[in-house]
């Protein structure tokens, strides 16, 4: 079959890696892709939001399956456009992708169906939000309703900070229309765990757990980023936590979406916080996590295409989803200055080393070709993933492999997976 992957980051490289392994796939395209994906797929210079061009391309090349990896096109309705044109596509339709696209929607859904999450209020008026904050308990969390590259969440320690936050989100529109509505949420503490799952509208099968590191600097300091590294599985995701979430979170979410007439087919990513009062949902995403995919997918035993087709066909109940018993760690190599300002176009060397070692992967996030030379082309440049029999071994392997790659202004966190030592 001919497959088109939409996206061009590390997550899409990890997806492409799995798709390339499938015996069913004869040809793979990626729009727009990157220099790493180009080794596996034919990259076409069409942006993920250029829906008309993507549909025309898919029809022209007689694509049998389109896989959409990114949040923006999913929330914007790319799956619906593919389907209208008769192209089989993997991901939630627009009416279901709202699970990620609107935090106010997802909070209301959780409240209505009694799915554990932080207490909250939604506001579409800045004065009302300010009045509410006058009597609120601090710290408190402000969230722009819509997509904001993972940056629309502000944790405010004082009323003054919260007032400035309301101004930023709702009045100055720092996150654009995403800030027309704002969620004000109770601050929770605890460990965070990401659980990704395949969903076919009625059945849900969860993948192995993972944990991200969202802040730019060691010790969880600095600004929030798209994610600076991950490990999988999470030792904090115990059997008890899993049982609780199976009972109160996973299937309930899928059933709630179906009951709302928003049948969800695709990936649901549960961002969980393990609080003293039990696990609570921090957020939903409607796609693989980035860089969670880079530690979860290399450990998956199934043929990804089989699982995706089962999701589309509604036969996921017949799939025995399996993961390896080992562990994986991904360290993101960024360009110094990310997530604010950074240079692009810096030559990268040492990438061939990964071909010589089994269990090591270099997923490209922001790279491109400059002639024959691969150069940096984004803030997050590469995701270096390594497996190991244990998390500690995987971490040591991943950090060893980060030494193989060189480019100017290379920056990484040095404490990815440090929490493992406390487990």
Binding site for ligand GLY (CB under 6 A): 150, 212, 227, 285, 289-290, 292
- The dihedral over CA atoms of 284, 288, 289, 294, expressed in degrees to the nearest 10, equals 160
Cβ distance 325 to 278 under 8 Å? no
Per-residue mark of binding to ligand AMP, 187-226 (x: CB under 6 A): xx---x---------------------x------------
Report the alpha-carbon angle 67-17-375, nearest 5.
100
Cβ distance 46 to 107 under 8 Å? no
- Pairing mode, if any, of strands 327-335 and 360-364? unpaired
Residue 309 binding target from ligand GLY, ligand AMP, none, CB below 5 to 8 Å by type: none
Q: How far is the CB of 285 from ligand GLY (least distance, A)?
A: 5
Of the pair 285, 402, the CB lying nearest ligand GLY is at: 285
Cis geometry, peptide bond prior to residue 233 (ω within 30 degrees of 0): yes
Per-residue mark of binding to ligand AMP, 235-254 (x: CB under 6 A): --------------------
Number of Cβ atoms within 10 Å of the Cβ of 403: 10
Q: How far is the CB of 289 from ligand GLY (least distance, A)?
A: 4
Question: DSSP characters for 304-372?
Answer: HHHHHHHHHHT-GGG----B-SSEEEEEEEEETTTTT------B-B-GGGGGGSTTEEEEESSEEEETT
Q: Alpha carbon of 356 to those of 17, 77, 362, 388: distances in Å?
A: 16, 41, 12, 16
Q: How far is the CB of 284 from ligand GLY (least distance, A)?
A: 10
Q: How far is the CB of 160 from ligand AMP (least distance, A)?
A: 19
Of the pair 23, 221, the CB lying nearest ligand AMP is at: 221
Of the pair 185, 309, the CB lying nearest ligand AMP is at: 185
Interface region with ligand AMP, contact rule CB under 6 A, candidates 28-36, 38-46, 182-190, 350-358: 182-190
Among 12, 100, 185, 292, binds ligand AMP (CB under 6 A): 185
Among 170, 184, 282, 401, binds ligand AMP (CB under 6 A): 282
Of the pair 232, 402, the CB lying nearest ligand AMP is at: 232
Residue 80 binding target from ligand GLY, ligand AMP, none, CB below 5 to 8 Å by type: none
Tokens linked to 104: 């106010």
Of the pair 80, 290, the CB lying nearest ligand GLY is at: 290
- The dihedral over CA atoms of 314, 317, 323, 329, expressed in degrees to the nearest 10, equals 50
How far apart, in whole angstroms, are the C-alpha atoms of residue 395 and residue 416? Answer: 8
Instruction: Give every strand in the sheet of 27-32, ordered side by side.
Output: 42-43, 27-32, 2-7, 65-68, 89-90
**Residues numbered 94-153 forming contacts with ligand AMP, rule: CB under 6 A:** 118, 141, 143, 150, 153
Of the pair 219, 314, the CB lying nearest ligand AMP is at: 219
Tokens linked to 408: 């100017």
Of the pair 61, 174, the CB lying nearest ligand AMP is at: 174
Question: Interface residues with ligand AMP (CB under 6 A)?
Answer: 118, 141, 143, 150, 153, 155, 185-188, 192, 214, 271, 282-283
């Amino acid at each position: 079959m001919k497959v088109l992957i939409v996206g061009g980051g590390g997550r899409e490289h990890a997806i492409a890696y799995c798709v390339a392994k499938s015996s069913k796939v004869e040809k793979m395209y990626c729009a727009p892709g990157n220099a790493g994906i180009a080794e596996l797929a034919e990259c076409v210079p069409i942006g993920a939001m250029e829906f008309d061009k993507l549909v025309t391309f898919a029809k022209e090349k007689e694509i049998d399956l389109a896989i959409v990896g990114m949040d923006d096109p999913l929330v914007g309705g790319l799956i619906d456009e593919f389907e209208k044109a008769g192209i089989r596509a993997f991901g939630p339709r627009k009416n279901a992708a709202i699970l990620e696209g609107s935090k106010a929607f997802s909070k209301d859904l959780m409240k209505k169906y009694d799915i554990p999450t932080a207490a909250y209020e939604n506001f579409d008026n800045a004065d009302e939000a300010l009045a509410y904050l006058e009597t609120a308990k601090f710290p408190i969390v402000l969230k722009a309703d819509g997509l904001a590259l993972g940056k629309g969440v502000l944790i405010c320690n004082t009323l003054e900070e919260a007032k400035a936050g309301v101004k930023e989100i709702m009045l100055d529109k720092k996150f654009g229309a995403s800030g027309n509505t704002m969620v004000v949420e109770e601050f929770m503490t605890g460990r965070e765990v990401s659980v990704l799952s395949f969903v076919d509208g009625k059945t849900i099968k969860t993948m192995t757990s993972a944990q991200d590191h969202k802040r730019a600097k060691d010790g969880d300091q600095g600004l929030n980023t798209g994610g600076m590294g991950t490990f999988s599985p999470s030792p904090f995701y115990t059997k008890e936590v899993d049982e609780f979430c199976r009972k109160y979170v996973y299937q309930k979410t899928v059933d709630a979406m179906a009951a709302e007439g928003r049948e969800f087919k695709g990936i649901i990513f549960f961002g969980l916080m393990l609080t003293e009062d039990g696990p609570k949902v921090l957020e939903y995403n409607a796609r693989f996590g980035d860089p969670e995919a880079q530690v979860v997918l290399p450990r998956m035993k199934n043929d990804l295409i089989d699982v995706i087709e089962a999701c589309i066909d509604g036969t996921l109940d017949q799939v025995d989803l399996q993961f390896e018993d080992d562990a994986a760690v991904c360290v993101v190599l960024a360009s110094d200055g990310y997530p604010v300002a950074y240079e692009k176009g810096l030559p990268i060397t040492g990438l061939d080393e990964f071909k010589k070692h089994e269990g090591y992967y270099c997923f490209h996030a922001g790279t491109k070709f400059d002639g024959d030379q691969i150069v940096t082309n984004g803030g997050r440049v590469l995701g270096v993933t390594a497996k190991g029999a244990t998390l500690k071994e995987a971490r040591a392997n991943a950090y060893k492999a980060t030494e193989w790659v060189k480019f100017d202004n290379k920056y990484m966190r040095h404490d990815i997976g440090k929490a493992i030592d406390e487990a």
